[in-house]
């Protein structure tokens, strides 16, 4: 395998044509409400922001059934805080029953029922959360809820103790940028295997922090292919971060028509051309087999996801490819300093849903 400048755009374009009308990964937003009030929240969620919660449990089940019929095998429950939906447990069980191969819950982990932990442990459900500081005061200042750090840490330890695959992300902003390395080291020592960091982006309350309006360049680019987000009011978006570009509503249009519709096709093509392609064009795999698998990943420093801090080029995912951990493996040692760069991923098996952690932690400016 070798890397080189792109010499044949037809191969790249063929990927777009093959993948733009598929559904591989589904974000299902169970509520816009949240018990925290994070200063940077991409959905502008809070305790009283559930006015857009229209979908019923029957609606959510119907969406999942339709998604499976389209071949979708991976999904993430998001919010707000998804566990605030009174039907959360039932929907979690239904997703597993329907045969989704990968299921992740993105939660602030300030609340976590024992029954949920047990079910997740027994059924391979993954969790993801955000941690803003190793210090309670720093974390709570960002969530704007006292003792949120203590509750999140307690439940994070519970998940790790139960053997549940869990990732943590740190959103970097002025108020916590000086403690990112310490926070990553703290989480690794806690037993979190997958830790990433990412900058605040101009979505939701992040607009206020950055004084910027949402724009396509704020996306990572991977939502050009096979991904869709359904909000609590039924609106469909190409990405959790792309609320300015709705592509239909599941209360009015069958999911298959949205996925195969011209509106989603157009926005995916724009994201492909203007966001994703410029990031991979300089060093793209030229092997036809790899190209046809649609397995192109940009350098690992690009972050994406509900909290803009998902690992590498996996927007939605806690599980880069897993490895067996030797019983005698020593605990991670404190990093002397933050690495200043990330090595571009260079593996034939690299794909948006399973990129290895080519560098940990990610770049910290």
Domains defined along the chain, listed by start: 21-280 (3.20.20.70)
Predicted confidence (pLDDT) at residue 329 exceeds the cutoff of 50: no
Predicted confidence (pLDDT) at residue 340 exceeds the cutoff of 90: no
Question: At which residue do the structure tokens 């902003």 appear?
Answer: 173
Question: At which residue do the structure tokens 């703290």 appear?
Answer: 186
Q: How far apart are the first and last CA of the chain?
A: 32
**Phi/psi at 338 (5° precision):** -75, 135
Determine the pLDDT at residue 341. 33
Note the pLDDT tens digit of each residue in 181-201.
Answer: 999 999 999 999 999 987 654
DSSP string, 1-69: --EE----HHHHHHHHHHHTT---EEEEE--SB-S---TT-TT--BTT-GGG----HHHHHHHHHHHHH
Residue 322 DSSP code: P
Determine the pLDDT at residue 22. 85
Lowest mean pLDDT of 164-168, 205-209, 229-233, name the range: 205-209
Determine the pLDDT at residue 179. 92
Mean pLDDT computed over every residue of the chain: 73
Query: Is the C-alpha dihedral spanning 42, 46, 48, 54 positive or negative?
Result: positive
Lowest mean pLDDT of 95-99, 124-128, 175-179, 220-224, name the range: 220-224
For 138, how many CA atoms within 13 A lie in the half-sphere containing its CB? 19
Query: Which pLDDT band, with edges at 50, 70 and 90, does 153 fall under?
Result: very high
Omega before 80 within 30 of 0, i.e. cis? yes
Note the pLDDT tens digit of each residue in 43-59.
Answer: 665 555 556 789 999 99
| Strand-strand pairing, 126-130 and 25-29 | unpaired
Residue 78 DSSP code: E
Determine the pLDDT at residue 281. 59
Predicted confidence (pLDDT) at residue 256 exceeds the cutoff of 80: yes
- Residue 217: both structure tokens together: 């360049």
Predicted confidence (pLDDT) at residue 342 exceeds the cutoff of 80: no
* pLDDT, mean of residues 288-315: 38
Question: By the 8 A CB rule, do 62 and 13 touch?
Answer: no
- Residue 243: both structure tokens together: 């609320």
Determine the pLDDT at residue 354. 30
Query: Which pLDDT band, with edges at 50, 70 and 90, does 279 fall under?
Result: low
* pLDDT, mean of residues 111-140: 96
* pLDDT, mean of residues 307-318: 36
Predicted confidence (pLDDT) at residue 98 exceeds the cutoff of 80: yes
Question: By the 8 A CB rule, do 217 and 275 touch?
Answer: yes
């Amino acid at each position: 395998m070798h890397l080189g400048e792109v010499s044949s755009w037809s191969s790249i374009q063929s990927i777009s044509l093959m993948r733009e009308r598929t559904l591989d990964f589904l974000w299902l937003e169970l509520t816009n409400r949240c018990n925290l009030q994070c200063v940077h929240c991409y959905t502008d969620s809070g305790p009283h922001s559930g006015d857009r919660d229209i979908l019923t449990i029957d609606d959510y089940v119907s969406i999942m059934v339709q998604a499976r019929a389209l071949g979708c095998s991976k999904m993430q429950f998001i919010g707000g805080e998804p566990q605030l939906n009174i039907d959360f447990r039932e929907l979690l069980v239904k997703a597993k029953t329907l045969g989704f191969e990968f299921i992740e819950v993105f939660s602030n982990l300030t609340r976590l029922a024992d029954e949920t932990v047990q079910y997740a442990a027994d059924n391979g459900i993954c969790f993801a959360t955000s941690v803003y500081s190793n210090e309670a005061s720093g974390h709570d200042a960002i969530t704007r809820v006292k003792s949120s750090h203590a509750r999140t840490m307690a439940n994070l330890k519970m998940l790790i103790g139960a053997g549940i695959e869990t990732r943590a992300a740190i959103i970097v902003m002025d108020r916590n940028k000086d403690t990112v390395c310490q926070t990553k080291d703290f989480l690794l020592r806690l037993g979190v295997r997958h830790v990433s960091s990412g900058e605040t982006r101009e979505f939701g309350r992040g607009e206020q922090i950055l004084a910027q309006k949402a724009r396509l360049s704020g996306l990572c680019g991977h939502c050009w292919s096979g991904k869709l987000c359904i909000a609590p009011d039924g609106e469909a978006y190409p990405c959790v971060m792309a609320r300015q570009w709705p592509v239909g509503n599941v209360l009015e249009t069958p999911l298959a028509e949205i996925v195969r519709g011209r509106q989603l096709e157009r926005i995916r093509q724009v994201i492909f051309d203007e966001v994703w392609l410029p990031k991979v064009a300089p060093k793209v795999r030229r092997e036809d087999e790899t190209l046809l698998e649609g397995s192109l990943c940009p350098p690992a420093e690009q972050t994406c996801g509900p909290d803009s801090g998902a690992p590498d080029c996996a927007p939605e995912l806690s599980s880069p490819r897993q490895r067996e951990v030797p019983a005698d493996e020593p605990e991670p040692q404190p990093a002397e300093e933050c690495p200043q760069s990330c090595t571009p991923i260079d593996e034939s098996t690299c794909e948006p849903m399973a990129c290895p952690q080519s560098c940990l932690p990610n770049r910290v400016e």
